[in-house]
């Protein structure tokens, strides 16, 4: 666990950038010349980079840079692109989202997408993949109760680690914005993932909850060794959490490196961080 020490909205004072030990379950992500256009707008224009297994990288850029579109392309929510996406060496280009998720690449969304008419516990219990009771035969004739019990124990453990025990029986529509973010991350963890795409996980979260969320992310990365790509506008969190950063502008990768290196990059300063002095 890294020594996070953040007070409210201020920048983190301790940096945890040690590379997580990539476990055998982590998967690399490689993008090869991804191009995607909406009408006449080229949202993503020839993006190529590789994220090694177990790495935690940041994806930053001004509004409209194409970050969320790129995540949509990787996760299958946008299949109208050219180029190739590889997960652990396997070409998953233009696969349907559920098929990509079944390969253990899961994502969160810019606005949390919880099953709002279901309780937090039901949300967590929905996530485990390939449940015996999810087929007609399994549901009617199968003995899914044992698996359900195991998932239940796991869900309670995950809920405890995310301090969600008190809201487990609440409908997700009753949660605060910060709780929704945490519940969505907890649900992602139940999905047995090898790689995670996080789309602005700190947006709309209170300062106190941001710290908790960051702790969860670090623990997720370090203990499970999953590969993480995080889109985020709050650069202090990118600096705090990510081992390297890709900067996007106008659909292209403008630069990459650590935040310290990027701060010295004139193009980045002009495009994203503000005009050079």
Partner 1 sequence: MWLYYGLTLGIYGCLNGILALGFNLQFGQTGIMNLAFFLLVAVGAYMTSIAGVGPPPNDGVTHYIGGFGWAFPWDLLFGVACTVVFALVLGGVALHRLRNDYLALTLVAIGQGFLVLATNDVGLFNGTAGVNGVAGPFPQASVADYEWIFLGVSFIALVIVFLVIARLVRSPLGRAMKAVREEEGAASSLGKNPWRLKMIAFAVGAGAAGLGGGLFAIYVGGWNVQAWQPGETLILLAAVIVGGRGRNLGALVGSLIVLEGIVTVSNFLPAIGSVEILPNLQSIAIGVLLLAFLWWRPQGILPEQKEKFPPAVVQSEARPGATPQQSPVNP
**Interacting residue ranges for partner 1, rule: CB under 8 A:** 75, 77, 96-99, 101-102, 106-107, 109, 113-119, 121-122, 125-127, 129-136, 138-140, 144, 148-150, 152-154, 156-158, 160-161, 169, 171, 187, 189, 191, 219-220, 223-224
Radius of gyration of the chain (CA): 19
Question: In angstroms, what is the minimal distance from the CB of 48 to partner 1?
Answer: 24
Best CA proximity match to 194, nearest among 28, 19, 1: 28
Q: Is 136 exposed, middle or buried (0-12, 13-18, 19+ CB in 10 A)?
A: exposed
Q: Residue 102 CB, nearest distance to partner 1 (Å)?
A: 4
CB of 152 to partner 1, least distance (A): 6
Residue with Cβ nearer partner 1 (113 or 166):
113
Rounded least distance, CB 220 to partner 1, Å: 7
**3 state SS of 66:** coil
Rounded to a whole number of angstroms, the minimum distance from the CB of residue 133 to partner 1 is 4
Minimum CB distance to partner 1 smaller for 62 or for 97: 97
Measured in degrees and rounded to the nearest 5, phi and psi for residue 252 equal -120, 160
Determine the Cα–Cα distance for residues 197 and 275; give it in Å rounded to an integer.
30
Shortest Å distance, C-beta 213 to partner 1: 14
Q: Could you list the beta-strand ranges (E) of the chain.
A: 29-38, 41-51, 56-60, 81-87, 90-91, 105-107, 195-199, 227-231, 244-249, 252-257
Q: How far is the CB of 129 from partner 1 (least distance, A)?
A: 5
Pick between residue 109 and residue 272 the one whose CB is nearest to partner 1.
109
Residue with tokens 């949300």, as numbered in its chain: 123
Q: Closest CB to partner 1 among 52 and 97?
A: 97
Q: Between residues 49 and 77, which has the closer beta carbon with respect to partner 1?
A: 77
Judged by beta carbon, residue 48 or residue 135, the one nearer partner 1 is 135
Whose Cβ is closer to partner 1: residue 67's or residue 187's? 187
**CA pair distance 71, 66, nearest whole angstrom:** 9
Q: How far apart are CA 116 and CA 96, in angstroms?
A: 23
Q: Which residues contact 269 (CB under 8 A, 6 or more apart)?
A: 263, 275, 276
């Amino acid at each position: 666990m890294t020594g996070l020490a953040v007070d409210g909205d201020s920048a983190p004072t301790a940096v945890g950038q040690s590379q997580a030990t990539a476990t055998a379950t982590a998967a690399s992500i490689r993008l090869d010349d991804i191009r995607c256009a909406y009408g006449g707008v080229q949202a993503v224009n020839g993006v190529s980079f590789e994220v090694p297994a177990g790495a935690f990288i940041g994806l930053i850029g001004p509004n409209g840079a194409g970050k969320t579109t790129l995540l949509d392309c990787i996760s299958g929510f946008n299949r109208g692109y050219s180029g190739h996406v590889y997960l652990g060496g396997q070409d998953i280009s233009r696969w349907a989202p559920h098929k990509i998720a079944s390969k253990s690449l899961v994502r969160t969304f810019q606005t949390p997408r919880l099953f709002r008419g279901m309780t937090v516990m039901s949300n967590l219990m929905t996530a485990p993949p390939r449940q015996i009771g999810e087929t007609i035969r399994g549901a009617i004739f199968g003995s899914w109760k044992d698996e359900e019990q195991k998932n239940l124990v796991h869900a309670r453990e995950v809920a405890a680690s995310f301090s969600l025990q008190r809201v487990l029986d609440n409908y997700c529509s009753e949660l605060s914005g910060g709780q929704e973010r945490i519940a969505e991350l907890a649900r992602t963890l139940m999905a047995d993932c090898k790689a995670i795409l996080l789309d602005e996980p700190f947006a709309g979260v209170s300062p106190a909850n941001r710290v908790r969320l960051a702790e969860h992310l670090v623990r997720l990365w370090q203990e499970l060794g999953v590969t993480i790509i995080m889109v985020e506008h709050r650069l202090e969190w990118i600096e705090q959490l990510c081992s390297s950063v890709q900067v996007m502008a106008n659909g292209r990768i403008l630069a990459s490196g650590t935040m310290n290196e990027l701060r010295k990059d004139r193009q980045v300063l002009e495009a994203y961080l503000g005009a050079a002095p």
